[in-house]
Amino acid sequence: MHPDLKEALEGSKHMPMWLDRPDRPKVASSLSGNVETELAIVGAGFTGLWASILAKEAHPDLDVIVIESGSVGVGASGRNGGFVSDTLTQYQSDRQLGLPENEPTMESLGRDNARGFLDTFERYDMNVDYEPTGFLHMAIQPHHVDALRALYEADQKSGAASTWLDREAVQKEVASSAFLAGHWTKEGRLGVLHPGRLVDGLREVACGLGVRLYENTPLTELATAGAGTELLLRSARGEIRARKVFLATNTFPNLIANNRRTLMAPVWEYALATEPLSAAQMASIGWGRRQGLSGVENFFHYYRLTSDNRIMIGGGAPGYFLNEPKSFTGRDDPTRFEAIASYFFTVFPQLAGLRFSHRWSGPIGIGRDHSMHFGQAHDGRAVWVQGYTGQGVTASRFGARASLALLGIGETELTQLAFVRRGTSHWPPHILRWLGGNITFSALGKQDQNQGKPGLWLKMLDKIGFRIHL
Protein backbone atom coordinates (compact mmCIF):
# COMPACT_ATOMS: atom_id res chain seq x y z
CA MET A 1 0.00 0.00 0.00
CA HIS A 2 1.17 3.52 -0.81
CA PRO A 3 2.30 5.25 2.42
CA ASP A 4 -0.21 8.08 1.91
CA LEU A 5 -3.10 5.60 1.63
CA LYS A 6 -1.92 3.69 4.67
CA GLU A 7 -1.88 6.91 6.68
CA ALA A 8 -5.32 7.93 5.40
CA LEU A 9 -6.87 4.59 6.42
CA GLU A 10 -4.92 4.04 9.62
CA GLY A 11 -7.09 4.25 12.70
CA SER A 12 -10.42 4.19 10.81
CA LYS A 13 -13.21 2.47 12.73
CA HIS A 14 -14.29 -0.86 11.32
CA MET A 15 -18.02 -0.16 11.43
CA PRO A 16 -20.66 1.77 9.48
CA MET A 17 -20.44 5.48 10.18
CA TRP A 18 -24.24 5.68 10.27
CA LEU A 19 -24.45 3.38 13.30
CA ASP A 20 -21.60 5.01 15.26
CA ARG A 21 -23.76 7.39 17.30
CA PRO A 22 -24.21 7.80 21.05
CA ASP A 23 -27.91 8.66 20.60
CA ARG A 24 -28.91 5.26 19.19
CA PRO A 25 -31.83 3.55 20.98
CA LYS A 26 -31.13 1.04 23.71
CA VAL A 27 -31.11 -2.54 22.39
CA ALA A 28 -34.38 -4.35 23.06
CA SER A 29 -34.48 -7.58 25.03
CA SER A 30 -34.18 -10.94 23.30
CA LEU A 31 -37.01 -13.44 23.16
CA SER A 32 -37.32 -15.63 26.23
CA GLY A 33 -40.21 -18.02 26.52
CA ASN A 34 -43.19 -18.62 24.24
CA VAL A 35 -45.39 -15.88 22.79
CA GLU A 36 -48.27 -15.62 20.34
CA THR A 37 -49.05 -12.98 17.72
CA GLU A 38 -51.14 -12.35 14.64
CA LEU A 39 -48.23 -11.13 12.49
CA ALA A 40 -44.56 -11.99 13.02
CA ILE A 41 -41.98 -10.08 10.99
CA VAL A 42 -38.49 -11.55 10.73
CA GLY A 43 -35.84 -8.87 10.23
CA ALA A 44 -35.64 -5.36 11.69
CA GLY A 45 -34.18 -3.49 8.76
CA PHE A 46 -35.98 -1.04 6.50
CA THR A 47 -38.36 -3.63 5.03
CA GLY A 48 -39.40 -5.25 8.29
CA LEU A 49 -39.89 -1.96 10.12
CA TRP A 50 -41.85 -0.44 7.23
CA ALA A 51 -44.06 -3.51 7.22
CA SER A 52 -44.74 -3.24 10.96
CA ILE A 53 -45.70 0.44 10.65
CA LEU A 54 -47.92 -0.05 7.60
CA ALA A 55 -49.64 -3.03 9.21
CA LYS A 56 -50.40 -1.07 12.39
CA GLU A 57 -51.57 1.96 10.43
CA ALA A 58 -53.99 -0.22 8.45
CA HIS A 59 -55.11 -2.26 11.47
CA PRO A 60 -54.31 -0.51 14.78
CA ASP A 61 -55.56 -3.47 16.83
CA LEU A 62 -53.38 -5.99 14.96
CA ASP A 63 -50.77 -7.61 17.21
CA VAL A 64 -47.36 -7.38 15.51
CA ILE A 65 -43.98 -8.74 16.58
CA VAL A 66 -40.63 -7.94 14.91
CA ILE A 67 -37.74 -10.35 15.51
CA GLU A 68 -34.13 -9.40 14.74
CA SER A 69 -31.21 -11.84 14.91
CA GLY A 70 -28.75 -9.05 15.75
CA SER A 71 -29.59 -5.42 16.35
CA VAL A 72 -31.84 -3.05 14.42
CA GLY A 73 -30.24 -1.80 11.20
CA VAL A 74 -27.08 -3.91 11.47
CA GLY A 75 -27.59 -5.28 7.94
CA ALA A 76 -27.88 -3.40 4.66
CA SER A 77 -30.15 -0.78 6.26
CA GLY A 78 -27.20 0.61 8.21
CA ARG A 79 -24.57 0.11 5.48
CA ASN A 80 -25.91 1.93 2.42
CA GLY A 81 -25.35 5.39 0.96
CA GLY A 82 -28.72 6.83 2.00
CA PHE A 83 -29.87 7.81 -1.51
CA VAL A 84 -33.58 8.64 -1.79
CA SER A 85 -34.78 7.39 -5.17
CA ASP A 86 -38.10 7.15 -6.97
CA THR A 87 -37.20 3.88 -8.70
CA LEU A 88 -38.11 0.36 -7.63
CA THR A 89 -35.70 -1.56 -9.85
CA GLN A 90 -32.26 -1.22 -11.36
CA TYR A 91 -32.03 -0.82 -15.17
CA GLN A 92 -35.17 -2.74 -16.02
CA SER A 93 -38.00 -1.16 -18.01
CA ASP A 94 -41.62 -2.28 -17.99
CA ARG A 95 -41.02 -4.03 -21.32
CA GLN A 96 -37.91 -5.82 -20.07
CA LEU A 97 -39.84 -7.03 -17.03
CA GLY A 98 -42.64 -8.28 -19.27
CA LEU A 99 -45.30 -6.08 -17.67
CA PRO A 100 -48.62 -5.33 -19.43
CA GLU A 101 -49.39 -1.88 -20.82
CA ASN A 102 -52.76 -1.62 -19.05
CA GLU A 103 -51.21 -1.41 -15.55
CA PRO A 104 -49.47 1.39 -13.67
CA THR A 105 -45.90 1.73 -14.91
CA MET A 106 -42.89 1.02 -12.76
CA GLU A 107 -42.14 4.72 -13.04
CA SER A 108 -45.51 5.77 -11.61
CA LEU A 109 -45.36 3.11 -8.89
CA GLY A 110 -41.89 4.31 -7.93
CA ARG A 111 -42.92 7.96 -7.73
CA ASP A 112 -45.99 7.10 -5.66
CA ASN A 113 -43.82 5.06 -3.31
CA ALA A 114 -41.29 7.89 -2.94
CA ARG A 115 -44.07 10.33 -2.04
CA GLY A 116 -45.37 7.99 0.65
CA PHE A 117 -41.81 7.39 1.86
CA LEU A 118 -41.13 11.07 2.42
CA ASP A 119 -44.62 11.92 3.68
CA THR A 120 -44.04 9.48 6.55
CA PHE A 121 -41.12 11.57 7.81
CA GLU A 122 -43.32 14.65 7.93
CA ARG A 123 -46.26 12.85 9.51
CA TYR A 124 -44.18 11.43 12.35
CA ASP A 125 -41.71 14.33 12.56
CA MET A 126 -38.72 12.04 11.93
CA ASN A 127 -35.26 13.61 11.87
CA VAL A 128 -33.37 11.76 9.12
CA ASP A 129 -31.12 14.57 7.79
CA TYR A 130 -33.01 14.55 4.51
CA GLU A 131 -31.67 16.88 1.79
CA PRO A 132 -33.66 17.12 -1.52
CA THR A 133 -30.54 17.65 -3.62
CA GLY A 134 -31.25 15.51 -6.67
CA PHE A 135 -28.70 13.16 -8.25
CA LEU A 136 -25.71 14.14 -10.36
CA HIS A 137 -24.38 11.40 -12.63
CA MET A 138 -20.91 12.09 -14.00
CA ALA A 139 -18.98 10.94 -17.02
CA ILE A 140 -15.53 9.79 -15.96
CA GLN A 141 -14.42 8.52 -19.37
CA PRO A 142 -15.09 10.06 -22.79
CA HIS A 143 -17.48 7.32 -23.94
CA HIS A 144 -19.67 7.97 -20.90
CA VAL A 145 -20.51 11.45 -22.18
CA ASP A 146 -22.71 10.06 -24.95
CA ALA A 147 -24.45 7.70 -22.51
CA LEU A 148 -25.26 10.60 -20.19
CA ARG A 149 -26.42 12.76 -23.10
CA ALA A 150 -28.88 10.01 -24.09
CA LEU A 151 -30.32 9.99 -20.57
CA TYR A 152 -30.72 13.77 -20.66
CA GLU A 153 -32.43 13.70 -24.05
CA ALA A 154 -34.83 11.03 -22.80
CA ASP A 155 -35.70 13.33 -19.87
CA GLN A 156 -36.38 16.18 -22.30
CA LYS A 157 -38.82 14.03 -24.25
CA SER A 158 -40.64 12.85 -21.12
CA GLY A 159 -40.70 16.26 -19.45
CA ALA A 160 -38.61 15.14 -16.45
CA ALA A 161 -36.68 17.87 -14.68
CA SER A 162 -32.97 17.58 -15.36
CA THR A 163 -29.98 19.66 -16.43
CA TRP A 164 -27.14 18.88 -18.84
CA LEU A 165 -23.71 19.96 -17.64
CA ASP A 166 -20.72 20.10 -19.94
CA ARG A 167 -17.19 19.77 -18.62
CA GLU A 168 -16.93 23.36 -17.47
CA ALA A 169 -20.40 23.35 -15.91
CA VAL A 170 -20.02 20.07 -14.03
CA GLN A 171 -16.69 21.18 -12.57
CA LYS A 172 -18.38 24.33 -11.30
CA GLU A 173 -20.78 22.09 -9.41
CA VAL A 174 -18.05 19.81 -8.05
CA ALA A 175 -14.40 20.76 -8.48
CA SER A 176 -12.85 17.61 -9.90
CA SER A 177 -10.88 17.43 -13.13
CA ALA A 178 -12.00 13.77 -13.38
CA PHE A 179 -15.56 14.80 -14.28
CA LEU A 180 -16.06 15.29 -18.03
CA ALA A 181 -19.83 15.93 -18.09
CA GLY A 182 -22.85 15.58 -15.86
CA HIS A 183 -26.56 14.80 -15.90
CA TRP A 184 -28.30 16.38 -12.92
CA THR A 185 -31.66 14.75 -12.25
CA LYS A 186 -33.97 16.97 -10.18
CA GLU A 187 -37.28 15.15 -10.64
CA GLY A 188 -39.51 14.84 -7.57
CA ARG A 189 -37.79 14.93 -4.21
CA LEU A 190 -34.69 12.87 -4.95
CA GLY A 191 -31.84 13.37 -2.56
CA VAL A 192 -29.96 11.93 0.40
CA LEU A 193 -30.65 11.13 4.03
CA HIS A 194 -29.00 9.51 7.06
CA PRO A 195 -29.86 5.79 6.82
CA GLY A 196 -28.96 5.14 10.46
CA ARG A 197 -31.37 7.82 11.63
CA LEU A 198 -33.96 6.46 9.23
CA VAL A 199 -33.85 2.91 10.60
CA ASP A 200 -33.86 4.21 14.17
CA GLY A 201 -36.74 6.55 13.36
CA LEU A 202 -38.78 3.72 11.84
CA ARG A 203 -38.06 1.67 14.95
CA GLU A 204 -39.33 4.48 17.21
CA VAL A 205 -42.51 4.91 15.16
CA ALA A 206 -43.18 1.17 15.09
CA CYS A 207 -42.74 0.76 18.84
CA GLY A 208 -44.87 3.86 19.42
CA LEU A 209 -47.67 2.17 17.47
CA GLY A 210 -47.49 -0.85 19.75
CA VAL A 211 -45.18 -3.18 17.82
CA ARG A 212 -43.26 -5.63 20.03
CA LEU A 213 -39.55 -5.86 19.16
CA TYR A 214 -37.05 -8.58 20.06
CA GLU A 215 -33.36 -8.12 19.22
CA ASN A 216 -30.48 -10.58 19.40
CA THR A 217 -32.89 -13.41 18.68
CA PRO A 218 -31.63 -15.70 15.90
CA LEU A 219 -34.33 -18.02 14.62
CA THR A 220 -33.63 -21.63 13.82
CA GLU A 221 -36.82 -22.94 12.22
CA LEU A 222 -40.10 -22.02 10.60
CA ALA A 223 -42.68 -24.79 10.84
CA THR A 224 -46.42 -25.32 10.83
CA ALA A 225 -48.16 -25.48 14.18
CA GLY A 226 -51.20 -27.33 15.42
CA ALA A 227 -53.57 -28.21 12.62
CA GLY A 228 -51.41 -26.27 10.15
CA THR A 229 -53.38 -23.05 10.44
CA GLU A 230 -50.57 -21.32 12.32
CA LEU A 231 -46.82 -21.03 11.99
CA LEU A 232 -44.13 -21.59 14.58
CA LEU A 233 -40.86 -19.64 14.72
CA ARG A 234 -38.26 -21.28 16.95
CA SER A 235 -35.24 -19.72 18.65
CA ALA A 236 -32.78 -21.11 21.17
CA ARG A 237 -34.74 -19.61 24.07
CA GLY A 238 -38.33 -19.50 22.96
CA GLU A 239 -41.01 -19.84 20.30
CA ILE A 240 -43.37 -17.50 18.48
CA ARG A 241 -46.72 -18.83 17.31
CA ALA A 242 -48.12 -16.61 14.54
CA ARG A 243 -51.04 -16.64 12.15
CA LYS A 244 -48.97 -14.92 9.46
CA VAL A 245 -45.22 -14.46 8.93
CA PHE A 246 -43.33 -11.94 6.82
CA LEU A 247 -39.69 -12.84 6.12
CA ALA A 248 -37.81 -9.55 5.63
CA THR A 249 -34.21 -10.78 5.68
CA ASN A 250 -33.20 -9.96 2.07
CA THR A 251 -29.60 -11.22 1.63
CA PHE A 252 -29.66 -13.41 4.73
CA PRO A 253 -31.29 -16.82 5.16
CA ASN A 254 -35.05 -16.53 5.60
CA LEU A 255 -35.87 -20.03 6.92
CA ILE A 256 -37.16 -21.22 3.54
CA ALA A 257 -34.78 -23.99 2.41
CA ASN A 258 -32.40 -22.97 -0.41
CA ASN A 259 -34.43 -19.82 -1.02
CA ARG A 260 -31.61 -17.31 -1.14
CA ARG A 261 -29.17 -19.50 -3.02
CA THR A 262 -31.24 -19.52 -6.22
CA LEU A 263 -33.08 -16.20 -6.10
CA MET A 264 -30.27 -13.81 -5.28
CA ALA A 265 -26.58 -13.32 -5.85
CA PRO A 266 -25.14 -11.76 -2.67
CA VAL A 267 -22.48 -9.31 -3.88
CA TRP A 268 -20.09 -7.77 -1.36
CA GLU A 269 -19.60 -3.98 -1.51
CA TYR A 270 -17.24 -1.65 0.38
CA ALA A 271 -17.45 1.92 1.66
CA LEU A 272 -15.40 4.61 3.39
CA ALA A 273 -16.23 7.83 5.22
CA THR A 274 -13.84 10.72 5.78
CA GLU A 275 -13.32 12.91 8.77
CA PRO A 276 -15.36 16.15 8.61
CA LEU A 277 -13.95 18.56 6.05
CA SER A 278 -12.77 21.98 7.15
CA ALA A 279 -14.21 25.16 5.66
CA ALA A 280 -11.15 25.48 3.43
CA GLN A 281 -11.45 21.88 2.24
CA MET A 282 -15.15 22.37 1.47
CA ALA A 283 -14.32 25.50 -0.51
CA SER A 284 -11.70 23.58 -2.49
CA ILE A 285 -14.22 21.06 -3.82
CA GLY A 286 -17.20 23.35 -4.36
CA TRP A 287 -20.18 20.99 -4.17
CA GLY A 288 -22.33 23.79 -2.78
CA ARG A 289 -25.59 22.16 -3.89
CA ARG A 290 -24.61 18.90 -2.12
CA GLN A 291 -26.02 16.54 -4.78
CA GLY A 292 -25.64 12.81 -4.48
CA LEU A 293 -22.96 11.83 -7.00
CA SER A 294 -22.55 8.69 -9.05
CA GLY A 295 -20.48 7.57 -12.00
CA VAL A 296 -22.00 5.59 -14.86
CA GLU A 297 -19.28 3.03 -15.46
CA ASN A 298 -20.04 -0.63 -14.74
CA PHE A 299 -18.06 -0.52 -11.51
CA PHE A 300 -19.18 2.95 -10.56
CA HIS A 301 -18.46 4.84 -7.37
CA TYR A 302 -21.03 6.90 -5.52
CA TYR A 303 -20.36 9.84 -3.24
CA ARG A 304 -22.28 12.10 -0.91
CA LEU A 305 -21.84 14.68 1.82
CA THR A 306 -23.16 14.15 5.32
CA SER A 307 -24.71 16.81 7.54
CA ASP A 308 -21.34 17.32 9.28
CA ASN A 309 -19.51 17.58 5.94
CA ARG A 310 -17.90 14.17 5.72
CA ILE A 311 -17.65 12.52 2.34
CA MET A 312 -18.94 9.00 2.11
CA ILE A 313 -17.76 7.02 -0.92
CA GLY A 314 -18.70 3.47 -1.90
CA GLY A 315 -18.81 1.18 -4.88
CA GLY A 316 -16.07 0.14 -7.25
CA ALA A 317 -15.42 -3.51 -8.04
CA PRO A 318 -17.57 -5.72 -5.79
CA GLY A 319 -16.67 -9.14 -4.41
CA TYR A 320 -18.49 -12.37 -5.10
CA PHE A 321 -17.43 -15.43 -3.15
CA LEU A 322 -17.77 -19.18 -3.51
CA ASN A 323 -18.47 -19.68 0.18
CA GLU A 324 -21.02 -17.16 1.34
CA PRO A 325 -19.85 -15.13 4.34
CA LYS A 326 -21.41 -15.70 7.74
CA SER A 327 -20.56 -12.27 9.18
CA PHE A 328 -20.03 -8.72 8.01
CA THR A 329 -16.33 -8.87 8.73
CA GLY A 330 -15.74 -12.18 7.02
CA ARG A 331 -15.19 -10.64 3.59
CA ASP A 332 -13.43 -7.40 4.47
CA ASP A 333 -10.63 -7.36 1.90
CA PRO A 334 -8.14 -4.58 2.82
CA THR A 335 -7.15 -4.17 -0.82
CA ARG A 336 -10.69 -3.09 -1.72
CA PHE A 337 -10.67 -0.34 0.90
CA GLU A 338 -7.29 0.74 -0.47
CA ALA A 339 -8.71 0.80 -4.00
CA ILE A 340 -11.59 3.06 -2.95
CA ALA A 341 -9.22 5.37 -1.06
CA SER A 342 -6.92 5.56 -4.09
CA TYR A 343 -9.86 6.40 -6.35
CA PHE A 344 -11.05 9.05 -3.88
CA PHE A 345 -7.77 10.96 -4.01
CA THR A 346 -7.68 10.63 -7.80
CA VAL A 347 -11.04 12.41 -7.94
CA PHE A 348 -10.18 14.93 -5.20
CA PRO A 349 -6.41 15.43 -5.21
CA GLN A 350 -6.91 18.74 -3.38
CA LEU A 351 -7.96 16.73 -0.32
CA ALA A 352 -4.59 14.99 0.05
CA GLY A 353 -3.89 14.47 3.74
CA LEU A 354 -7.57 13.93 4.64
CA ARG A 355 -8.09 10.81 6.74
CA PHE A 356 -10.89 8.26 6.72
CA SER A 357 -12.80 7.84 9.97
CA HIS A 358 -14.82 4.69 9.11
CA ARG A 359 -14.67 1.69 6.80
CA TRP A 360 -17.25 -1.02 6.32
CA SER A 361 -18.68 -3.53 3.91
CA GLY A 362 -21.73 -5.69 3.42
CA PRO A 363 -23.75 -7.76 0.94
CA ILE A 364 -26.23 -6.50 -1.64
CA GLY A 365 -28.87 -8.93 -2.88
CA ILE A 366 -28.81 -8.92 -6.70
CA GLY A 367 -31.99 -10.21 -8.29
CA ARG A 368 -31.85 -12.11 -11.58
CA ASP A 369 -33.65 -9.29 -13.42
CA HIS A 370 -32.26 -6.52 -11.19
CA SER A 371 -35.48 -6.12 -9.25
CA MET A 372 -37.21 -7.37 -6.14
CA HIS A 373 -39.16 -10.62 -6.16
CA PHE A 374 -41.93 -11.84 -3.89
CA GLY A 375 -42.65 -15.36 -2.77
CA GLN A 376 -45.07 -17.33 -0.64
CA ALA A 377 -44.82 -20.49 1.41
CA HIS A 378 -46.94 -22.49 3.84
CA ASP A 379 -50.13 -21.98 1.79
CA GLY A 380 -49.64 -18.23 1.65
CA ARG A 381 -49.30 -17.72 5.41
CA ALA A 382 -45.60 -16.89 4.98
CA VAL A 383 -44.42 -14.24 2.51
CA TRP A 384 -40.99 -12.93 1.59
CA VAL A 385 -39.37 -10.28 -0.62
CA GLN A 386 -35.74 -10.28 -1.77
CA GLY A 387 -33.30 -8.72 -4.22
CA TYR A 388 -33.52 -4.92 -4.10
CA THR A 389 -30.27 -4.74 -6.09
CA GLY A 390 -29.02 -1.57 -4.44
CA GLN A 391 -32.37 0.29 -4.50
CA GLY A 392 -33.57 -0.74 -1.06
CA VAL A 393 -33.57 2.59 0.80
CA THR A 394 -36.86 3.64 -0.78
CA ALA A 395 -37.93 0.46 -2.60
CA SER A 396 -38.07 -1.37 0.74
CA ARG A 397 -41.27 0.50 1.53
CA PHE A 398 -42.93 -0.88 -1.59
CA GLY A 399 -41.54 -4.33 -0.82
CA ALA A 400 -43.20 -4.14 2.59
CA ARG A 401 -46.50 -2.84 1.17
CA ALA A 402 -46.79 -5.54 -1.45
CA SER A 403 -45.75 -8.30 0.96
CA LEU A 404 -48.43 -7.25 3.44
CA ALA A 405 -50.94 -7.22 0.59
CA LEU A 406 -50.03 -10.83 -0.23
CA LEU A 407 -50.77 -11.65 3.43
CA GLY A 408 -54.17 -9.96 3.16
CA ILE A 409 -53.13 -6.91 5.18
CA GLY A 410 -53.44 -3.35 3.89
CA GLU A 411 -53.51 -2.53 0.16
CA THR A 412 -54.74 -5.84 -1.19
CA GLU A 413 -55.14 -4.33 -4.69
CA LEU A 414 -51.35 -4.50 -5.01
CA THR A 415 -51.64 -8.28 -5.35
CA GLN A 416 -53.19 -7.72 -8.79
CA LEU A 417 -50.08 -6.04 -10.17
CA ALA A 418 -48.13 -8.18 -12.62
CA PHE A 419 -44.89 -6.94 -11.04
CA VAL A 420 -45.96 -8.50 -7.73
CA ARG A 421 -47.58 -11.62 -9.19
CA ARG A 422 -44.87 -12.49 -11.74
CA GLY A 423 -42.96 -15.70 -11.20
CA THR A 424 -39.64 -15.77 -9.47
CA SER A 425 -36.53 -15.51 -11.61
CA HIS A 426 -33.83 -17.96 -10.57
CA TRP A 427 -30.08 -17.77 -10.89
CA PRO A 428 -28.08 -20.85 -11.94
CA PRO A 429 -26.86 -23.21 -9.18
CA HIS A 430 -24.40 -21.64 -6.76
CA ILE A 431 -21.14 -23.05 -8.15
CA LEU A 432 -22.08 -22.01 -11.69
CA ARG A 433 -23.26 -18.62 -10.45
CA TRP A 434 -19.94 -18.05 -8.68
CA LEU A 435 -17.92 -19.06 -11.74
CA GLY A 436 -20.07 -17.06 -14.15
CA GLY A 437 -20.22 -14.10 -11.79
CA ASN A 438 -16.47 -13.75 -11.56
CA ILE A 439 -16.01 -14.16 -15.32
CA THR A 440 -18.63 -11.46 -15.77
CA PHE A 441 -17.01 -9.11 -13.26
CA SER A 442 -13.74 -9.46 -15.14
CA ALA A 443 -15.50 -8.74 -18.44
CA LEU A 444 -17.26 -5.68 -17.01
CA GLY A 445 -13.96 -4.30 -15.73
CA LYS A 446 -12.38 -4.77 -19.17
CA GLN A 447 -15.34 -3.01 -20.79
CA ASP A 448 -14.80 0.00 -18.51
CA GLN A 449 -11.18 0.07 -19.71
CA ASN A 450 -12.04 -0.47 -23.39
CA GLN A 451 -14.11 2.60 -24.27
CA GLY A 452 -17.31 0.82 -23.23
CA LYS A 453 -16.99 -1.88 -25.90
CA PRO A 454 -18.34 -5.24 -24.65
CA GLY A 455 -16.25 -8.36 -25.13
CA LEU A 456 -17.45 -11.73 -26.41
CA TRP A 457 -18.65 -12.85 -22.97
CA LEU A 458 -20.90 -9.83 -22.47
CA LYS A 459 -22.21 -10.09 -26.03
CA MET A 460 -23.11 -13.72 -25.36
CA LEU A 461 -24.94 -12.75 -22.15
CA ASP A 462 -26.91 -10.14 -24.11
CA LYS A 463 -28.09 -12.77 -26.56
CA ILE A 464 -29.42 -15.05 -23.82
CA GLY A 465 -31.15 -12.21 -21.95
CA PHE A 466 -28.59 -11.36 -19.26
CA ARG A 467 -28.00 -7.70 -20.05
CA ILE A 468 -26.06 -6.32 -17.08
CA HIS A 469 -23.83 -3.64 -18.56
CA LEU A 470 -23.92 -0.25 -20.26
Question: Which residues touch 345 (CB under 8 Å, ≥6 apart)?
Answer: 4, 5, 8, 351, 352
Question: What's the confidence (pLDDT) of residue 92?
Answer: 66
Distance, CA of 413 to CA of 390 (rounded, Å): 26
Residue 463 has pLDDT above 80, yes or no: no
Distance, CA of 232 to CA of 222 (rounded, Å): 6
At residue 403, what is the residue type? S
Summarize the confidence of residues 275-290 as an average pLDDT. Answer: 98
Summarize the confidence of residues 447-454 as an average pLDDT. Answer: 78
Q: Give percent above pLDDT 90 in the chain.
A: 63
- The 10s digit of each residue's pLDDT in 362-377 is 888 887 777 888 999 9
Q: Please tell me the least confidently modeled range out of 57-71, 194-208, 228-242, 307-321.
A: 307-321
Quick check: 49 and 203 in contact, CB under 8 A? yes
Between 363 and 215, the more confident residue is: 215
Summarize the confidence of residues 293-322 as an average pLDDT. Answer: 88
Residue 326 has pLDDT above 80, yes or no: no
Quick check: 294 and 388 in contact, CB under 8 A? no
Between 454 and 398, the more confident residue is: 398
Q: Taking Cα atoms as reference points, which of 399, 420, 69, 79 lies closest to residue 246?
A: 399
Residue 455 has pLDDT above 90, yes or no: no
Residue 405 has pLDDT above 50, yes or no: yes
Residue 465 has pLDDT above 70, yes or no: no
Q: Give percent above pLDDT 70 in the chain.
A: 92
Residue 155 has pLDDT above 60, yes or no: yes
SS3 track for the chain: CCHHHHHHHCCCEECCHHHCCCCCCCCCCCCCEEEEEEEEEECCCHHHHHHHHHHHHHCCCCCEEEECCCCCCCCHHHCCCCEECCCCECCCCCCCCCCCCCCCCHHHHHHHHHHHHHHHHHHCCCCCCCECCCEEEEECCHHHHHHHHHHHHHHHHHCCCEEEECHHHHHHHECCCCCCEEEEECCCCCEECCHHHHHHHHHHHHHHCCCEEECCCCEEEEEEECCCCEEEEEECCEEEEEEEEEECCCCCCCCCCCHHHHHEEEEEEEEEEECCCCHHHHHHHECCCCCEEEECCCCCEEEEECCCCCEEEEECCCECCCCCCCCCCCCCCHHHHHHHHHHHHHHCHHHCCCCEEEEEEEEEEEECCCECEEEEECCCCEEEEECCCCCHHHHHHHHHHHHHHHCCCCCHHHHHCHHHHCCCCCCCCHHHHHHHHHHHHHHHHHHHHCCCCCCHHHHHHHHCCCCCCC
Mean model confidence pLDDT for the chain:
89
Question: What's the confidence (pLDDT) of residue 347?
Answer: 96
Question: What's the confidence (pLDDT) of residue 429?
Answer: 74
Summarize the confidence of residues 204-219 as an average pLDDT. Answer: 97
Question: What's the confidence (pLDDT) of residue 330?
Answer: 61
Question: Please, which pLDDT band fits residue 470 given cuts at 50, 70 and 90?
Answer: very low
